[in-house]
Structure 1
Amino acid sequence: MDSLEKDIIDLDAWLQLPAGRYVLEWEQALLAKLTVDIFGYNAVQIGMPQIDGLAASRMPNRWLTNSVLREPNIVEGETEQRPIVLLHDFSELPFDSQSIDLIVLPHVLEFTNEPHQLLREVERVLIPEGRLIISGFNQASLWGARQFVGRLNKNYFLPQQGEFISFTRMKDWLKLLNMEVGGHEFGCYVPPCRSENWLQRFHFMENAGQKWWPYLGAVYMVQAVKRVRGMHLIGPAWKQKRMARGNAVAVVNKAKK
Structure 2
Amino acid sequence: MDSATSEKSIIALDSWLQTPAGSYVRAWEQSRLDELTADIFGYNAVQIGTPQIDALAASRMPHKWLADTVPHPTEVTTGRPVALTLDGTELPFASQSLDLVVLPHVLEYAAEPHQVLREVERVLIPEGQLIICGFNPASLWGLRNVRGRVTGNRYLPPAELISMPRIKDWLKLLNMGVSHSHFGCYAPACRTEHWLARYAFMDRAGARWWPYFGAVYMVQAIKRVKGMRLIGPAWSKKTAKAPVAVPATNKHRKHG
TM-score by length of 2: 0.90
TM-aligned CA deviation for residue 256 of structure 1: 4.2
Residue 119 of structure 1 aligns with which residue? Answer: 117
1:123-154 CA-to-partner distances (Å, cap 9, x unmatched) read: 01111111110010001100000001111111
- 1:144 to 2:142 alignment: yes
1:210 aligns with 2:207: yes
Structure-1 separation of matches of 2:234 and 2:208: 47
* Per-residue Cα deviation, 1:92-124 (whole angstroms, up to 9, x for no partner): 111111111111000000111010000000001
Contact 2:26–2:53 (CA<8 Å) still a contact in 1?
yes
Is the 1:50–1:81 Cα contact (8 Å) retained in structure 2? no
**SS of equivalent residue, structure 1 residue 2:** helix
Q: Quick one: which of 97, 100, 114 aligns to 1:99? A: 97
Moved more, 228-237 or 113-122: 228-237
What residue in structure 2 maps to residue 14 of structure 1? 16
- Kindly state the Cα deviation for residue 17 of structure 1 after the two structures are TM-superposed: 1.0
Give the C-alpha shift of residue 69 in structure 1.
2.5
Residue identity matched to 2:156: L
Counterpart of 1:144 in structure 2: which amino acid?
Answer: G
Please state how far the C-alpha of 1:236 moved relative to its aligned partner. 5.7
Task: Provide structure 1 residue ranges, at least 5 long, that are not aligned to the other structure.
Answer: none
1:19-168 to 2 correspondences below 5 Å = 19-72=21-74, 81-160=79-158, 162-168=159-165
* 2:253 corresponding residue in structure 1: none
**For residues 230-253 of structure 1, what are the alpha-carbon distances to aligned partners after superposition, in whole Å with 9 as ceiling and x for unaligned?**
11223468999x95xx66xx25x3
Percent identity reads: 61
In the alignment, what sits opposite 2:229?
A: 232
C-alpha separation between the residues in 2 aligned to 1:206 and 1:239? 41
Unaligned stretches of 5+ residues in structure 2: 249-256
CA distance in structure 1 between the aligned counterparts of 2:217 and 2:60, rounded to whole angstroms: 24
Contact (CA 8 Å) 1:51, 1:81: kept in 2 or not? no
Alignment match, 1:182: 179
How many equivalent pairs are there?
Answer: 246
**Secondary structure, counterpart of 1:120 in structure 2:** helix
1: CA distance, partners of 2:206 / 2:35: 20
For the aligned residues, what is the CA RMSD?
2.0
2:218 equivalent among 218, 221, 238: 221
* Separation (CA, whole Å) in 2 of partners of 1:38 and 1:119: 20
